Structure 1
Amino acid sequence: MSVELNTLNIIIGIFIFAFGVSIGSFLNVVAYRVPQKISLVSPRSFCTHCKKNIPNIDLIPIIGFFLSKGKCSNCKTKISYQYPFVELLTGILTLFVFFKFLTPLDLINIIPYFNYDNSIQFGKFHFTNFVPFFTSLWIIYTGIALSIIDIKQRILPDFITIPGTIIGFIIGSLNPELGWLESLIGIVAGAGGLYGISSLYKLIRNKDGMGMGDVKYLGFLGAVLGWKGIVFTLFYASITGAIVGIIWGIITKKGLKEAIPFGPFLGFGAFLVSTFGVEIAHYLFG
């Protein structure tokens, strides 16, 4: 790798990471405000304890947490480590999926430039190169917000899942490897399949197994992954959910009596499919 290309990778990487942590900061806002039915636009960021506005310097992702020593500058209430963790995680995942699916040259090719005769020339932009990147990014960002909400509130709000399904359908329709029909089938298979499983569980056990939020979320994921992706998503989610559930039951000494939110595992399964689907399929089927 040339020195120039290596330098370009570092510069673009810094910007992508900064973008990711900024999105992570916004996802923290979404995770807090959506269940409280507070506008995402107004009021500006405030301490959840004393309700005072947070100083601008403390709003800088990750850095602001340490500048404030992890406390509200007004009431001195401790700030949850969730905030810098989510920001850092989002930054790392954004950086990872960017370099997995794209290169800095893909970004540069988007920028128009002037020819010697002052005519505008666009670079060699290939939209299809960006589809896997946007798909994975969409699943990561929505998955992080929904996971936080599901863990804390045990809900997967329609405010995210329903618009997310519509946007997911658009992304899926633009994906040449998926198309609008398979995206639509994915929505029906995801929501309908999980609803059927949940109904069967309730019929046998006489109690709810999964909420409608999980049903809508899997339909949402089906829009961007298609029905095949949904099968693997549900498989990975079930395996990881079972493992974590058993470990959690041992730690809390409650066995399998305590239900755990399924949303985070659906998000994790979808992340594996969208980001490593090709590698996993190659490993399993050759």
Structure 2
Amino acid sequence: GHNQNNGLSPQEPLKNIYYALLKLHTDENNPGRICMADGLYGNYINNESFPLLARDYTSLIGESEEGVIWDGQDTTSMITSYNTLNDFAIENITALRAGNPNIETPWFSFLLFNSVKLKNISISETSILNRLIYNGQRYADSSYFKNIRIENTHGNAAFSIKNYQPNTQQKYCELINIQIIRHLPIFENEWNGSGSALQVHGSDEAQKKVEIKNLLLSENQYEDNIWIGASAMALSNGDYTLTNATIAHNLSDGPSCAVHLANGQFKIYNSIFYGLRSRSFF
């Protein structure tokens, strides 16, 4: 592709995702879609400018999860947003080699958002001080995260969803087909080098309903003498339902290796826990 093309057809593709985002003019009635062809995208490969700046009412859709590869090449972050983000989606990408273990920057960072969807995402070969996927402050009923695989990574929580915004009206979130395997601490960082594989937190004022279906958390490790957590899941301030989960061979030097729940409800259906090592189970 070339950024002098019009970018409106496969015959006239643009070169860079960041440039396509700059060209879009979207609103609630005119959403935009950026279609990414199979190939490598990276700062040193095709001058891709990571981190990308997410746009309202925009979808980034890859041709295939295996074929569209975002190579961070040690950049600190892949995509971020600075203001409230509305109706944003990413589908069908493999992302690897991003993050800096000495800089506190989430890999995918959406600070405030309404209706964010991540689907068919694979993440690997990453070492990061903060969270790999971080969705903070508030989220809407239609937000969901589906077919997410995070493997062979290091750092704080692999997948963190937080809702600390009080008086939030919409409080539902769905996670489907989530796999987090071998997420390990950054041992040389005493303050923020470890975290649970999956974290979901809320405030007392904004408790939420969270549905988690088809979950695999395996061979993850938690090491933190400051915060209470678990190598698999840390949950708080919500109504959680877990269905069809396998939580196995997770190791924790803290009080829990399977699930740590603070101030909320937790229901489990058709799930198995085994091979867990910790000072306590729940």
Output the TM-score relative to the length of structure 1.
Answer: 0.23
Output the TM-score relative to the length of structure 2.
Answer: 0.24
User: Max radius of gyration: which structure?
Assistant: 1
Would you tell me which structure has more helix in proportion to its own residues?
Answer: 1
